[in-house]
Amino acid sequence: MFLTLHDLTIQLTSDNAAINQQWQQLFMGWPLADSAVTAPDMVLQLSLVEKLPPLPDSPPYFEDNLGVLAVYRGDGEMARLHYLDGALVDVPLGNQTTIPTASGFLTQQALDDGRFEDITFTSLAPLLRRRGYFLVHAFAAVRDGRALLIVGPSGSGKTTTGLSLLLAGWELLSNDVLLLKERPNGVYAFASPGAIGIRPKTLDLLPKLRDMVGDLVIEGQTDVTQALLEIVNWSEAARVTAVAFPRIEGREQSVLSPQNRAVCLAQLMAESADKWDAELLAAHMTILQKLSQQATPYTIHLGRDVERLPALLASALH
């Protein structure tokens, strides 16, 4: 499978049908490159195994505070990413004279636990950074050529807020994993593919969406990717003019309040930078600093008036 990601071509390869099917679902609606005429800029290769290979004898040099990822030093300029629920991927970090290739193994548990999207993008992220693209976890949408980033952890109201914008006609950039790249006139957000899943209670807040997806509910979540792609347009790259951090407060009316830029930078760092990739950490921090100075940061104090959010957030774009 050859994926066209802006000016890059990414080859995703596996000898396992289940892994290939997961990639097909993850990149639904995204342009595919012609493998017959295209040499990839980077490769991700994954195999399904019953048991992961043994870990290095030395302890990891990085462990996240969520108990999800540990990073070991591999051979040469390689990092070995151990996803604790069932994957092990070697990623090159140094300068490459050949096509950079991340390769590894995952178990059925990793597929069953819904970790596949994270494994894919976290494994590609170091390769993307070395081509000038930096990832941040955000829902991003565009109105009149201006991008708004909605940044927050799971359960903060990020997806519900973003979906309200799409239903109001905004263009889609990202549901969860967004690409940032610097251009001469500022930091731009670039669209990235990904599945869009929501909790069923969100449908109570967005009746228009409930009418679209009907009874498509799987294990407590609703996958709305296919339904949305039928009515939503992908946006071209857009300059980021606002960043909003949602906060569920149960009030009647939602309120938008200015946020401190230093706090904005700290929150962007928490939702973005891979601290284990020391070689590119300074560059990652620099683009986030420029973004926090370029875009106006806000806190969205979320109320029950979800239908009012598109108009409220449109006022934040300038």
Residue scoring higher pLDDT (195 or 45): 45
Q: In this model, does residue 264 exceed pLDDT 80?
A: yes
Per-residue pLDDT tens over the stretch 199-243: 667 777 777 777 766 655 444 455 666 666 666 778 889 999 999
Measure CA 14 to chain center: 22
Comparing 97-111, 113-127, 151-165, the range with the smallest average pLDDT is: 151-165
75 Cβ contact list (under 8 Å, min separation 6): none
Tell me the pairing of strands 78-83 and 87-92: antiparallel
pLDDT of residue 229: 67
117 Cβ contact list (under 8 Å, min separation 6): 26, 176, 177, 194, 195
For 39, 254, 260, the CA distances from 135, given in Å and listed in that order, are: 23, 29, 22
**The residue type at 287:** I
pLDDT of residue 218: 45
286-297: average pLDDT: 97
Q: In this model, does residue 263 exceed pLDDT 70?
A: yes
287-298: average pLDDT: 97
**CA–CA gap between residue 233 and residue 29 (Å, rounded):** 10
63-74: average pLDDT: 89
113-120: average pLDDT: 88
Average pLDDT, the chain: 88
144-165: average pLDDT: 89
Q: What is the pTM of this model?
A: 0.89
pLDDT of residue 185: 94
Query: What domains does the chain contain, in order, with CATH numbers?
Result: 2-131 (no CATH), 135-314 (3.40.50)
CA 140-112-62 angle, 5° bins: 65
pLDDT of residue 67: 84
**CA–CA gap between residue 316 and residue 310 (Å, rounded):** 10
Residue scoring higher pLDDT (29 or 169): 169
pLDDT of residue 223: 62
pLDDT of residue 216: 54
pLDDT of residue 227: 63
Say what percent of the chain tops pLDDT 90.
58
pLDDT of residue 219: 46
3-state SS track over the chain: CEEEECCEEEEEECCCHHHHHHHHHHCCCCCECCCCCCCCCEEEEEEECCCCCCCCCCCCCEECCCCCEEEEECCCCEEEEEECCCEEEEEECCCCCCCCEEEEEECHHHHHCCCHHHHHHHHHHHHHHCCCCEEEECEEEEECCEEEEECCCCCCCHHHHHHHHHHCCCEEEECCEEEEEEECCEEEEECCCCCCEECCCHHHHCHHHHHHHCCCCECCEEECHHHHHCCCCECCCEEEEEEEEEEEEEECCCEEEECCHHHHHHHHHHCCCCCCCHHHHHHHHHHHHHHHHHCEEEEEEEECCHHHHHHHHHCCCC
